[in-house]
A and B are shown apart, each in its own frame.
Chain A
Amino acid sequence: MIIKSVTLENFQCYYDIKSFEFSSGLNIILGDNGEGKTKFFEGVVWLFNGNRFKLDKLVSKKKLKEEYNNDLFPVSVSMSVEINNQEYFFKKSFYVESKENSIITSDFKLVCWHTNENGERDSFEGDTASNLLDEVFPPEIRRYSMFKGEAELNIFKSGEEALSNLVKSFSNAKYYDKYCSYGNYLRKKAEKEVDKDVKQSSQNKEEFDRIQMNIKSKKEKLKSENKLMSKECGNLEQIKEDLQDADKHFDNAKSLKIIKSKISKLSEEKEAIQRRIVTDFTIRLFDQRWILIHFEKIQEEFNAKINAFDKDRRDEEKRFNIEKGKAQRSQEILEQITPLPVGVPSLSHMEEMLNEQFCKVCNRSAEKGSEAYQFMEKRLHEFINSQQPKQVKPKEKLFRFNYLSKLWSISDNSTRQLRKIRKIEQEIKDVFDFNRSMKIKLADIEDKLNKKEREFEKIIAKSSAEEDLISIYSKVKEWKEQESRFEMSIEDHKRTIDSLETKLKKLEIEKESIDSKDAKGFLVETRSILRDVEIIFNETRERKYEEFLQNLEQKSNEIFSTINVDDFTGEIHLTKEVIGDSEKIKVNLLENGNLYENPNQSLQTTKHMALLFAISELASEVSFYSSEEYPMIFDAPTSSFGLRKTLDFLNLVNSTEKQRIIATYEFVGRDSSGNQEIEGEFSNVNRSKAFWLRREAFDKNDLSTINTTITTL
């Protein structure tokens, strides 16, 4: 049977009608996380198992918004399947009305169209369609063919899968079960007959009764002890598994812790370097004088000007002084001619003459106001003046101001600073060199940081979220205590059971000796035969179950050796184990005959896959349509593998040529502008078909923008 196509209509992130056309062989669905891979898987599951409730949660939000207060619109998942040259098309759908305060959904219905080998068509609904779906892809086979995520692959995890389920679906060993119950009944009845007979004879009756009672009570005790012990074994098994899981988490946690501290150290280093990188170039123009880088020439011009100024000024001053000197001397020569010696006549004489208004030199009167009087007055003043110290007249200056002096000191000071200015060019160069070396260091650290961060994310993806680790830490102590308690208690039970069984054996021998004597011969013989019949029935059944397991184990190992992408050289080993009331399959890895402890996640996944593929082969052996094969659908089964291993794994799966639909986020990367792209490696994957899921441009805050598109590669 192969799936030819799956169509989703307004189902979750698949707005409107979106189809996958599958072919036989390997079909790969690529998509980054959240782009729609899992919703595809959920669509298929819903088609098969569909829950009647919460249909509104399945509706595309984008369509809801679009059809708000409009007419009904459909939501559906359909699948077309080819089996035995016939085609079946199944569609499960319901209608939706998007209104003011609510979303109204109709109940869903399942419809099937069937085209037989001659091309004739008919259709079915409801239960008939449902039964056809189960015939085409039987549920007991489906449960081993569709898996969401890597963890689900471990179907033999304790407590989850009974051997009987597998046997029921895939083995003839199931026919031997009922004979065991008949055998058991017949034997019991035969024994009762013998006991009845013995009782009827009066000999040894009392002793016989006593022994029988004893046996009965011991058997009851034994039964309850066995029950208790198997319960505790079950609990112990569970705890051991939990502890193993916790260990895995701790390992992951330890690695996470180490990586986290490396990341923070690297981040610190990065920040320290970033801080050292110089960025304030414009400020340094001023604060570090870089703005003066080309100033030397200007300085020279300035100095030249001031020099020239100074020279000119001194020159002019010299000339001026020379001129002035000349003028002064001529003035002085002029000033030296006086008509009379100054002392003649004397001061007192002159004063007397002025008072008498009479010149005694000319012997004439000199009245006030007359020429003679004025002449005498003048002479008097001259005399007085000549006695006084001569006031020197201030010489005329050429330069009233001296701006030059300050200019000179400016020139002087700044010339001395020139050597500082000459250093600027080198300073700037040094800063740029420094920055360059810092940037190289930075790039290196960023590279390391990216690598560590990706490592971190990978481990987180493998294990559960970080927060769980804290709660696990606290549980582990408790579990360890419980583990030792159970172990002790189981030991106790074992001892009790052993002693009971020994006593029981003794009693039964005693009883046998009596009843073989006292009971009728043929009854005893009948009993003996039926005892043997029971043994034969039981042991044959056991053998058959063991054969089944061996068959499964052998098939698994054949497949395991072809899909094993690790360098593991061992094999899968299956044993039957009774836990509680049921029989389980225990799966171990052996290397060189020794138990291989703590296989890593990708090895475990490969192991689970091998088992599942082996079961799929068994399915084809026992199916209704003989040697029918069935597809398998996996959603992200190889998260722990990484790109390389996934590539190898897919190629190996492809070589089996059976229809496998595998969804994965590997091979989806981002280009330099942050857009999604398929990595080149993908071209090395051999496959029949590949699809790429992408959400269209989407607003995180508005879910009604979600719309996944399918691109066939």
Chain B
Amino acid sequence: MTRKDKLLKEYMTHPLIQDKYSITSTQIPKSVYEGISSSEPIIKAIAHIINEVEKYPGKSEVEVNQMIRKLLNKSLT
């Protein structure tokens, strides 16, 4: 498991994921690769952020924001 996968795994253990978003353990992705194509917006968002930041460590916040907005626009509309 690479570091980004470990990161995602840790984030997925947060209670909000299960409690507020009612995501079951089967729905939790095992890797960032899986997470990117998740149907859950929050999982998708987190997976994308991790993917971007780990690939391009110097990525600016502005760019990450742009990416996320586009993403969520699509997912939520």
Contacts and interface: CB of A to CB of B under 8 A. Distances in A.
Are chains A and B native binding partners rather than an unrelated pairing?
A: yes
A176 interface: yes
Nearest to A181: B61
A533 B10 contact: no
A172 B72 CA distance: 30
Given A179-B53, A535-B16, A536-B11, A529 B65 contact: no
A172 B45 CA distance: 22
Interface residues of A, number: 27
A679 interface: no
B65 A185 contact: yes
A182 B53 contact: yes
A182 B11 contact: no
A686 interface: no
Contacts of A533: 42, 45-46, 49
A540 B11 contact: yes
A200 B6 CA distance: 42
Contact of B69 (A172, A175, A526, A543): A526
Contacts of A522: 72-73, 76-77
Contacts of B7: 175-176, 179
B42 A532 contact: yes
Interface residues of B, number: 26
A185 to B, nearest CB: 4
A185 B59 CA distance: 13
A531 to B, nearest CB: 10
Contact of A175 (B3, B13, B16, B68): B3
A265 to B, nearest CB: 68
Contact of A536 (B3, B16, B53, B64): B16
A533 B73 CA distance: 16
Contacts of B50: 179
A170 interface: no
Given A178-B53, A540-B10, A185 B61 contact: yes
A529 B64 CA distance: 15
A530 B45 contact: yes
B3 A537 contact: no
A533 B10 CA distance: 13
A535 B16 CA distance: 9
Nearest to A537: B11
Contacts of B76: 521-522, 525-526
Nearest to B12: A536
A529 B41 CA distance: 8
Given A532-B16, A536-B11, A526 B53 contact: no
A387 to B, nearest CB: 171
B55 interface: no
Interface string B42-72: 1001100110010000000100110011001
28 contacts: A175-B7, A176-B7, A179-B53, A185-B61, A185-B64, A185-B65, A186-B61, A186-B64, A525-B41, A526-B72, A526-B76, A529-B41, A529-B42, A530-B45, A530-B72, A532-B42, A533-B42, A533-B45, A533-B46, A535-B14, A535-B16, A536-B11, A536-B16, A536-B17, A540-B10, A540-B14, A543-B10, A544-B10
Report the 3 A-B pairs with minimum CB-CB distance, sorted nearest first.
A522-B76, A185-B61, A536-B14
Interface of A: 172, 175-176, 178-179, 181-183, 185-186, 189, 193, 521-522, 525-526, 529-530, 532-533, 535-537, 539-540, 543-544
